[in-house]
Amino acid sequence: AHLSQLVMKSSLKSSLVSRSALLRSLALGTVFTATRRPAIAAYTIVPTGSVRDKTARLAEVEKLYAKTPDDPYAFGEKAQLEYDIRQLEQNTKFVASTREQVRAGSTRFLQRLRVPVDDMREAVQFWREGCGALVLSTRIVDGANVTVVGFGPESLRRDDGAKFALELVESSEPAPMGGDHALQYVQLAMPVFRLSRVMAAGGKIESAYGWTQLTAPGGLPLRVRIDESRRGPFVFVAGRVS
């Protein structure tokens, strides 16, 4: 049997500031100033928002940091904002380029995969709490809950856009996946993937040597590896073509 891979254009160059370093800097705040509120620019799997808003907030934080350079929260938020702005600027270039190619008809951009699930609450909990995804929309269609999850908007007109998403459709009879079926698995590459959190959120781990093979609630097979350099976690959808 052959597998067809629909590749998402998600690679970007690695940032000079690693996400793990930012996590450590933010974590320091809980040691020295536990009574302070967490930084506004909290750690996220993929930076969201606009370059304009992030830049405006950075200007405010830089003033605060200049007055209190020993404040770990000010340092952590400053580092996070600087990282977010760099990533969003690169993403903006990708969005603009992709938008023009789609408009010209020279490329097609895969934005969404529809996946049936038998329990929407469990499925959403897995993607939000286990993987750090966002709920992009929720609506009722013909009496069924349809919820879209992803790591940023699908729009080709936003700084944080052009992200792939999963459309979860509540169904009492989910389509079979994996094995001899058409949909084999979805590949992801994420900067952070905690197995304990994934299992607590309903993920069934099958193996975790080098990369993780698991099944999400509803039966969707996943393969996940750690990678800090990608524009978005979704890499490709593998399907059986013969």
At 12-41, the pLDDT tens digits run: 433 434 444 444 344 333 333 334 444 444
**CA separation for the pair 159, 18 (Å, rounded):** 21
What is the pTM for the complete model shown?
Answer: 0.80
Given pLDDT bands bounded at 50, 70 and 90, which one contains residue 44? low
The pLDDT, as a whole number, for residue 27 is 39
- Can you tell me the mean pLDDT for 122-143? 95
CA-based R_g, the chain, Å: 19
CA distance 127 to 210: 22
- Taking only the tens place, the pLDDT of each residue in 100-130 is 999 999 999 989 999 999 999 999 999 999 9
